[in-house]
Structure formats: C-alpha cells, structure tokens
C-alpha cells in the first residue's frame, strides 16, 4: 500500500532530505524485509540519493545542474520552467532502497533527497514498501 506525505519547499531549487520520512513509512508498513520505493508525482521535481553528511555536496549538485541547464537559457516552453523539467528527468522520479530488519539499507553516507527545481511549492512524495515474506 502507498503512503504519502507532503512537504513545502522554500526556494526555486533545493534538495530536501526525506530519509527519515521514508524510514517512518517503512515503520508504518510493518514490513521487516523487502523493498521501499520513493516516487515523486511531479515533472519539475525529482528524487535522488546522495551524501547527507556535508550539506555542501547537495549545494554543489544544485549549482552544477544550474550551470548545465541554466535558468536564463533559450527554451521553447513558455512557462519558464523548462530547466526544471530537464533537471527532474536527469535525477529521476523514483528511487529504490532495500529494507532489512525494518530499516532502509542505505550506505553510510547515503540520504534520500527530494529535488525541487521549480519551487517554492508544496510537493507530494509517495512511498511504497513491498514485503518479500510470503
């Protein structure tokens, strides 16, 4: 079953760590062993995994994406948020993390991030945990 939560972003582009929220969803599912999937039902926001120890890492990712797909570039789409659409596809809309003993099996430095590219907005995150116990 899906669980959802929403969060409010505060800038045009921003990574917000959601690892704890996803872990809560795993706990809420009662599932001890299986797979958690985090899906973002948007087209100008995505989801990725990256380092959660030093916040300069996600700042560097955001800055690099801004350099590669600049806000003031030349785009057809009239809403002015084409860079956000491109960046969202580059990061992706779904991340998969294994679950063992009720916990997300992330690496030491890994955190899960909602990637806002056209904020500030309210965003939805949908989490699904599937058990491998038969």
CB of 10 to its own copies, least distance (A): 19
Could you list the beta-strand ranges (E) of the chain. Answer: 2-8, 14-17, 34-39, 45-51, 94-100, 103-104, 110-116, 122-131
Per rule CB under 8 A, count of chain residues that contact its own copies: 59
Q: Choose between 73 and 120: whose C-beta lies nearer to its own copies.
A: 73
- Residue 11 is a binding residue for its own copies (CB under 8 A): no
Sign of CA dihedral 18, 21, 25, 26: positive
- Residue 73 is a binding residue for its own copies (CB under 8 A): yes
Restricting to residues 87-106, which ones interact with its own copies according to CB under 8 A? 88-98, 100, 105-106
Q: Say how many CA atoms lie within 13 Å of 11 toward its Cβ.
A: 8
**Options 3, 17, 75, 103; binder of its own copies; rule CB under 8 A:** 75
Distance CA 132, CA 114 (A): 26
**Options 8, 11, 27, 56; binder of its own copies; rule CB under 8 A:** 56
**Residue pair 84/68 in contact by the 8 Å Cβ criterion:** no
Distance CA 108, CA 131 (A): 23
Which residues contact its own copies (rule: CB under 8 A)?
A: 1-2, 33, 35, 37, 39-43, 48-51, 54, 56-57, 59-61, 63-65, 68-69, 73, 75-79, 82-83, 85-86, 88-98, 100, 105-110, 124, 126, 128, 130, 132, 134
């Amino acid at each position: 079953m899906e669980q959802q939560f929403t969060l409010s972003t505060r800038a045009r582009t921003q990574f917000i760590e959601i690892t704890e929220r996803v872990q809560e969803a795993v706990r809420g599912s009662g599932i001890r062993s299986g797979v958690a999937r985090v899906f973002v039902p948007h087209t100008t926001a995505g989801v990725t995994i990256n380092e959660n120890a030093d916040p300069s890492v996600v700042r560097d990712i955001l800055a690099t994406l801004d350099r590669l797909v600049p806000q003031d570039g030349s785009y057809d789409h009239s809403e002015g948020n084409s860079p956000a659409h491109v960046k969202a596809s580059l990061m992706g809309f779904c991340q998969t993390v294994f679950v063992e003993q009720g916990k997300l099996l992330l690496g030491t430095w890994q955190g899960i991030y909602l990637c806002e590219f056209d904020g500030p907005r309210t965003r939805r995150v949908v989490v699904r945990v599937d058990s491998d116990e038969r």
